[in-house]
Amino acid sequence: MIYAQFYALDTGYIPGTIPPRFGDKRPAPATGDRAVIILDGRGRIDNMHTIAAAVARERGYCGYRIYKGGSFTQSSPLIQYIPI
């Protein structure tokens, strides 16, 4: 299975601060059913990048990473984080 995991910007919350303080926003893995798409493993990696980037833009994400493995819990990244 090959899939793209999308990333969204976090809030920038600095843990343990009272009252809450916020710093720079960083990309964090998105959650939910729309945070991943399954890609066709028969295609070329270039085509996978094109599809993942288009879907990330359409859904309002800030980037993506492509993974490969037998399942979501047993996969490793094919590529590092790609900002869009």
Residue 58, domain extent? 2-83
Question: How many angstroms separate the first and last alpha carbons of the chain?
Answer: 23
Q: What is the mean pLDDT of residues 13-21?
A: 91
pLDDT in tens, 46-66: 999 999 999 999 999 999 999
Q: What is the 3-state secondary structure (H, E, C) of 5-53?
A: EEEEECCCECCCCCCCCECCCCEEECCCCCCEEEECCCCCHHHHHHHHH
Say what the pTM is.
0.88
2 falls in which pLDDT band (50, 70, 90)?
Answer: very high
Number of folded domains in the chain? 1
